Amino acid sequence: MTGTTMPLDVVIEFNKATISHKFNLILTDVTFQIKRGEFVYMIGKTGTGKSTLLRTLYADIDLYDGNCSIVGYDLKEIKRREIPFLRRKLGIVFQDFQLLMDRTVNDNVIFVMKATGWKDKNLIKDRLDEVLTKVGLNTKGFKMPHELSGGEQQRVAIARALINDPEIILADEPTGNLDPETSGEIVNILFDINKTGRTVFMATHDYPLFSKFPARTLKCENGRIFEASVANMV
């Protein structure tokens, strides 16, 4: 693991970082911290770099310049073989769910467990029941992803993200494909998770959510990211 000297209560720290995507500079001079247990929105119009920043955080895009640390990993120095272990400390929820479409809900979650070293069948079953109950899918474990609604598929993705009790949930527009009511349910689940002490960093452009679920907000605009006042935006 590439160690960093991040304060103990800080789980994400950007310092004068430059985020780029395929030789295009997306965000410059990115400097902010997220503390353990915080719920943080990241907002901005489509194409302002929200997803690129999140992808940088889970090492799907290389950090172009500056410094960034997440759960103790220095993204400037991280090695390819360390990336899976970083991702195990994160729970990632995607807009397009990224489920394994060739297997059932149970198997989607079990895959992550097996991939991350779970071996005991009883423990696997207990934990599976626990997370599926948490997201309200305990009766649908046998279903294939294509048999579920968008909201249910996103719940599976959240269950999968929760399975290893991650320090941070990174959610990239988790409500982007959902109707307002289902979006509310999903954000509610994310807030419940946050109440258990986990950090949630969620990219969205679903502005009505802010009034219902207010939280600290960062805004991407004109190649920069800065603290935003939710009251003004709403």
Partner 1 sequence: MLSSEEKFARRRLRTTYLSSVISIALVLFMLGLLGLILLNAKKLSDYVKENVNVSLIFKDNVSESDILKFKAHLDSSYFVRSSKYVTKEEAAMQLKEDLGEDFIKTLGYNPLLPSIDIRLKAEFANNASISVIEKKLLENENIKEVFYQKSIINLVNDKIRKISIVLIFFSIILLIISIALINNTIRLSVYSKRFLIRSMMLVGATQHFVRKPFVLKGITQGLYGALIAILLFSGTIYLIVNEIPELMDMNEINVFAEVFGIVVLLGLIISYISTIFAVRKYVRLKTDDLYYF
Tell the smallest beta-carbon distance from residue 232 to partner 1 (Å): 34
Q: Would you say 127 or 160 has its CB closer to partner 1?
A: 160
CA–CA separation, 208 and 188 (whole Å)? 14
The reply to whether 227 sits near partner 1 by the rule CB under 8 A is: no
CA–CA separation, 136 and 79 (whole Å)? 37
The reply to whether 102 sits near partner 1 by the rule CB under 8 A is: yes
The reply to whether 119 sits near partner 1 by the rule CB under 8 A is: no
With contact defined as beta carbons under 8 Å apart, do 74 and 67 qualify? yes
Q: Tell which positions 39-98 bind partner 1, by CB under 8 A.
A: 55, 58, 60-61, 80-81, 84-85, 87-88, 92, 94, 98
Amino acid identity at 78: I
Tell the smallest beta-carbon distance from residue 54 to partner 1 (Å): 11
With contact defined as beta carbons under 8 Å apart, do 4 and 35 qualify? no
* DSSP element (H, E) containing 125: helix 121-134
Which residues make Cβ contacts (< 8 Å) with residue 143, sequence separation at least 6? 104, 105
Q: Would you say 116 or 188 has its CB closer to partner 1?
A: 116
Report the interhelical angle of 121-134 vs 105-115 (nearest 10°).
Answer: 120
The reply to whether 21 sits near partner 1 by the rule CB under 8 A is: yes
Tell the smallest beta-carbon distance from residue 20 to partner 1 (Å): 12
With contact defined as beta carbons under 8 Å apart, do 152 and 182 qualify? no
Tell the smallest beta-carbon distance from residue 88 to partner 1 (Å): 4
The reply to whether 124 sits near partner 1 by the rule CB under 8 A is: no
With H, G, I as helix, E, B as strand and everything else as coil, classify residue 92. strand
Binding site for partner 1 (CB under 8 A): 21-22, 55, 58, 60-61, 80-81, 84-85, 87-88, 92, 94, 98-102, 111-112, 114-116, 144, 146-147, 160, 164
